[in-house]
Amino acid sequence: MASAEQIKALLESHVEGDDGRFLSIALQVAAHEAKIGHGKVAQQLRDLVIKSKKSRSAEVLPSAPIPISKAYKGISGLLHATNPNHRLKDLIVDEKLSGRLERIVREQKHFSQLRNHGLQPRHKLLLVGPSGTGKTLTASVLAGELGLPLFTVRLDAVITKYMGETAAKLRQVFDAIADVRGVYFFDEFDAIGSQRGLANDVGEVRRILNSFLQMIEQDNSNSLIIAATNHPDILDAALFRRFDDIIRYQMPEAPAITQLLKGRLSPYVKAGFRWEKAVNAAKGLSGAEITRAANEAIKEKLIEQKEHIATLDILHALEERREFSQHDTL
């Protein structure tokens, strides 16, 4: 029979509307019943939990975001939650990539309609490309466009040195993915998805990857799962077919660089500013580095009380960022 603490926890989770916690406690009660020999009761409880989860996954999706606090019950420390307000217009990428993201947003906004016709909207995305090209911002943009919370998976808390513990924590994350609709972001995904045949591979690494492969394969949730990596070459080949879409990011070309620089610097420059020279100097830098250079030029202008930012000011800031980025890759 359930303990007094379990009964209290069941009532608390019911009052708070925390279905995920309620079902988790119910499974704990089932495990206890099985342990003391009440196998039939334990199986009945498990069947009811499974039935409840299936019923909830088939429900019409809520139009409003689920409170972030709801996802923290029982999984504190594994997820960092935010409510982004970014939009597609905030992401400066080429037209083709922008179109692919717009398609994902459209499919997600018509989630129920597609499901009712036996169709699955894209909800498992792999973002690949150099650092600073917009992968992390993309996760915020998609969450903002869909009005969903963004849950960043804290891999430093998920991945541990103890055998079997990482897989158990991954299971907690995927349970949250099923229980609370949101955008779930696995950054630096190669920490989980590296090839099983690498020379420094160990048995636990293979078990972690195999667990992730199984969990993402079985996922049929209403959430959006996004993984991002700067090193697609070391990902295990089996991962790629588990994702609905693989989106590749590149260093910005001249039109995007112009948009980045003008978006930040236009209020601070005067007529005659040599935009073309600044754009040429920024080629080869990531969008994040270009934005940082522009911000450095603005800070210098404000601190030194300059009337305007001169072309030489931004050229100097861009050169500093280039030296920094080259050092960072050594």
- pLDDT by residue (tens digit) across 167-177? 888 899 999 99
How is 13-42 classified by DSSP, letter by letter? HHHHT-HHHHHHHHHHHHHHHHHTT-HHHH
Q: Quickly count: other Cβ atoms within 10 Å of residue 3's Cβ.
A: 11
Is a pLDDT exceeding 60 seen at residue 93?
A: yes
pTM here is 0.72
Is a pLDDT exceeding 80 seen at residue 238?
A: yes
pLDDT tens sequence across 104-152: 999 999 988 888 888 889 999 999 999 999 999 999 999 999 999 999 9
Spell out where the chain has E strands. Answer: 79-82, 124-128, 150-153, 183-186, 224-229, 245-248
The mean pLDDT of 48-60, rounded to a whole number, is: 60
Among the residue ranges 154-163, 187-196, 270-279, 293-302, the one predicted with the least confidence is: 187-196
Share of the chain above pLDDT 70, in %: 76
Is a pLDDT exceeding 70 seen at residue 66?
A: no
Q: Name the more confident of 237 and 136.
A: 136
DSSP letter at 225? E
Q: Name the more confident of 274 and 40.
A: 274
Give the per-residue pLDDT at 287: 92
Is a pLDDT exceeding 80 seen at residue 31?
A: no
Is a pLDDT exceeding 60 seen at residue 42?
A: yes
Give the per-residue pLDDT at 70: 52
Residue 43 near residue 29 (C-beta atoms within 8 A): no
The span from the CA of 134 to the CA of 243, in Å, is: 19
Residue 322 near residue 284 (C-beta atoms within 8 A): yes
The span from the CA of 44 to the CA of 1, in Å, is: 14
Give the per-residue pLDDT at 324: 80
Is a pLDDT exceeding 80 seen at residue 198?
A: no
Mean pLDDT of the chain: 82
How is 169-216 classified by DSSP, letter by letter? HHHHHHHHHHHS-SEEEE-STHHHHB-TT-TT--HHHHHHHHHHHHHH
